[in-house]
Amino acid sequence: MKSAGSLYFAGVDLGSTMTKVVIIDGDGVIRARVETHTGAEHRRLANRVMEQALKQAELPFEEITYVIATGYGRINVPFADRQITELTCHARGVTSLFPSARTALDIGGQDAKGLKIKDGKLTNFVMNDKCAAGTGRFLEVIAKTLGLKLEELGDISLKSQNRVNISNTCTIFAQQEVISRLSEGVPVEDIVAGLHEAIASRAVGMLRRLGIEGDVVFTGGVAKNKGVVRAVQENLGHQVLVPDDPLISGALGAALLGKEIAFKSLEKGEPLPKKERRLAEATFYK
Amino acid sequence: MAYFMGIDIGSGTSKGVVTRDGEVLAYHLLPSGANYRAAAEKLRAELLAKAKLSSQDIAYTVATGQGSASVPYSDGQVTDIRCCARGISKIFPSARTVIDVQAQSSQVIRLGERGQVVNFVVSEKCAAGSGRFLEVIANVLQVELEDIGPLSLKSKRPVAFTTGCAVFGESEAISRVAEGNAKEDILAGVHQALADKISTLVERVGLEKDCTISGGGALDIGLVRSIEEKLSLKLLVPPQPQLVTALGAAIMAEEMAA
């Protein structure tokens, strides 16, 4: 039998906006991580991102003991052995990054989630995936209106001296409001800071409904935005923990759960419930 | 001879009506643009020219709508809810429920036997309940606004929208186009989504017949049919649904001057 260190596990997090793949070894050490934009063709993409991760880890696909898919597009990962919801995977990933975490905020491309975690397990959650306001999509739409790149927003907002209050919740109405403020000559940084405050106050309101306990971890693509992180901290009244790479907690959690499932089977001497899988291109467009 | 003016500065379109003894002498519509004050001034000039009157001939002007505070020549302001109720009662005295679908909001008003406002509910926080949702999707499909209604009536299999958000709806429409769905089926799906939202507003105020529809949304025959189907009734549609609130404002002007 192979030693634990030479077993490998992959987590594939197919989000609405970004796809993330993490490969870990049997000791839980990250061997590869890849992040890329999710296109319209999930299945073909999942396959391509996995190949990139394998190349980074210098492993053939057959060496991967177990593959867990998670995220909004998890059913579109034809080579996964099992699907697990992103909430469970996030809770696992967040706990491995910050063992002290009891509350997690994840703001992704099309949703925002609040998680309560105890002993590494998810105990409760709240979620908004019904409305673009309060998600990364809100920032994306407004960045486009302002002619800015998404990744520029954070630094720009930190220059603000006089934050604007954005009165509309709806992304579409806020977009118009931003155009009006621009035409009034309001500096861009004050507008962007106002948008960050809008998204942060919604997120913290969501967390308060859930009940904030212990250390708060902030993950998801929006956690890369320093302006939003600052606004979230101001709303909470204390610091939040942000991983070096806020995007991978779901994929990392998926890989870790895969490892745990596999080790449990090995301990009992049972065969792993593997699917017949192939790393082939699949597409639903002819 | 006394003349009265009703000015309705909406978020999308500005509407104006000149009346005498409750009868419409002239009306005009123009885009509100970014400057409501300029729109209001231009609207008055056009109305006076059409009615062949000067500003001194107007005894009283009531302003209403989102930009009602930006009408420098108004003698009074009245909410668009009251003006809409007054206008629809003038056109359809039997009306007890009005569905007013505007560019950026929808509202449903319950009327009493004398046309007075008994109850109302407004949806203005979210673009998905308003004409704006249609505008967003029409833009994706590259369909002119006035073509939406007739085109959607050709739909055989309306596409079901899984989201209630106009921003997510836009992405969904793009996906449906990529999958090869016909424009008319996507538009019919938007109409159903809007009709669902509007029918929950109707439920909240309580439906009583006759039920009427006003505002720019009433120009969209596909939306009208979808709401009729959802509520299982026939809607009374005024000949110029966008002017209802401005007409109501002019009638209020006559009453306020008396």
Give the per-residue pLDDT at A236: 96
* Residues of A in Cβ contact (< 8 Å) with B104: 173
Percent of all residues in chain A with a pLDDT value above 70, rounded to a whole number: 93
Distance CA B123, CA B183 (A): 27
* Residues of A in Cβ contact (< 8 Å) with B175: 40
| Ranges in chain A annotated CATH 3.30.420.40 | 4-89+248-268, 102-236
Residue A281 banded pLDDT, cuts 50, 70, 90? low
Checking if the pLDDT of A28 tops 80, the result is yes
How many domains is chain B built from? 2
Same domain, B1 and B126: no
Q: Which CATH architecture has domain A102-236?
A: 2-Layer Sandwich (3.30)
B201–chain A nearest CA distance, Å:
18
Checking if the pLDDT of B59 tops 70, the result is yes
* Residues of B in Cβ contact (< 8 Å) with A169: 125-126
Same domain, B68 and B177: no
Stretch A51-63: mean pLDDT, rounded? 94
Q: Find the chain B residues whose C-beta atoms sit closer than 8 A to any C-beta of A.
A: 34, 104, 125-128, 132, 136, 163-168, 175, 178
Give the per-residue pLDDT at B190: 93
pLDDT, one tens digit per residue, over A140-183 is 999 999 999 999 999 999 999 999 999 999 999 999 899 889 98
Which residues, at least 6 apart from A195, have a Cβ–Cβ distance to it below 8 Å?
A: A138, A139, A142, A153, A157, A166, A174, A178
Residue B101 banded pLDDT, cuts 50, 70, 90? very high
Q: State the pTM of this model.
A: 0.83
* Record: contact B163-A172, CB cut-off 8 A: no
pLDDT, one tens digit per residue, over A242-271 is 999 999 999 999 999 999 999 998 888 888
Same domain, B27 and B76: yes
Same domain, B70 and B140: no
Stretch B211-229: mean pLDDT, rounded? 96
Same domain, B119 and B246: no
Q: Give the residue with greater pLDDT, B70 vs A274.
A: B70
* Record: contact A130-B165, CB cut-off 8 A: yes
Q: Give the residue with greater pLDDT, A42 vs A117.
A: A117
Which runs of E-coded beta strand occur in A26-120? 30-37, 64-70, 82-83, 101-107, 112-118
* Residues of B in Cβ contact (< 8 Å) with A131: 126, 164-165, 168
Q: Give the residue with greater pLDDT, B45 vs B164.
A: B45
Domain housing B48: 1-92+240-258
Same domain, B100 and B189: yes
Checking if the pLDDT of A286 tops 70, the result is no
The CATH homologous superfamily to which domain A4-89+248-268 belongs is ATPase, nucleotide binding domain (3.30.420.40)
ipTM confidence score: 0.80
Nearest to B127 among A40, A173, A183 (CB): A173
Same domain, B55 and B67: yes
A34–chain B nearest CA distance, Å:
25
Distance CA B206, CA B211 (A): 11
Place of tokens 């930006």: B70
**Residue B250 is which amino acid?**
A
Same domain, B50 and B170: no
* Record: contact A141-B168, CB cut-off 8 A: no
Same domain, B102 and B197: yes
Give the per-residue pLDDT at A280: 63
Same domain, B168 and B186: yes
Q: What is the CATH number of the domain that holds B86?
A: 3.30.420.40
